[in-house]
């Protein structure tokens, strides 16, 4: 599923676009515990989280995560945007709960990491 398809399915807002909209995201992982994210061994994934903190961006960089989707209309700080810009991470935001966003993306064909 491409970033553009994810944006369309969730009516998501693009906060910072670092990748082409047609970049393929093969899998998704949803977590608020960044220690769980560091255990991921998969390429071309999107992280779905409700945790709006600079540590999320740093974790994404360490785990080679291309995009982060913040759920529940979380506010993304200017510091987070600057870190994401430096790290090459795309930032999206949507109003759905994590459960609903994951369900909609799974139903649309996006595969889980596990």
Question: Which CATH number is associated with domain 3-112?
Answer: 3.40.1390.20
What are the extents of the domains in the chain?
3-112
Give me the pLDDT at residue 60, please.
Answer: 95
Q: How many CA atoms lie within 13 A of 75 on its CB side?
A: 3
Question: Among residues of the chain, what percentage have pLDDT more than 90?
Answer: 89
Question: Among residues of the chain, what percentage have pLDDT more than 70?
Answer: 100
Start-to-end Cα distance in the chain:
17
Q: How far apart are CA 86 and CA 3, in angstroms?
A: 20
When the pLDDT of each residue in the chain is averaged and rounded to a whole number, the result is 95
Give me the pLDDT at residue 66, please.
Answer: 93
Q: How many CA atoms lie within 13 A of 49 on its CB side?
A: 25
60 neighbors 52 (Cβ within 8 angstroms):
no
């Amino acid at each position: 599923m491409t970033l553009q398809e994810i944006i369309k399915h969730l009516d998501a807002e693009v906060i910072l676009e670092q990748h082409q909209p047609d970049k393929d995201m093969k899998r998704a992982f949803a977590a608020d515990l960044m220690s769980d994210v560091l255990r991921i061994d998969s390429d071309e994934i999107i992280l779905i989280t409700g945790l709006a903190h600079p540590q999320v961006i740093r974790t994404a960089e360490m785990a080679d995560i291309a995009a982060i989707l913040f759920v529940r209309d979380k506010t993304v700080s200017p510091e987070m945007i600057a870190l994401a810009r430096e790290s090459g991470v795309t930032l999206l935001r949507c109003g759905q709960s994590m459960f609903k966003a994951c369900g909609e993306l799974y139903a649309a064909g996006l595969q889980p990491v596990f």
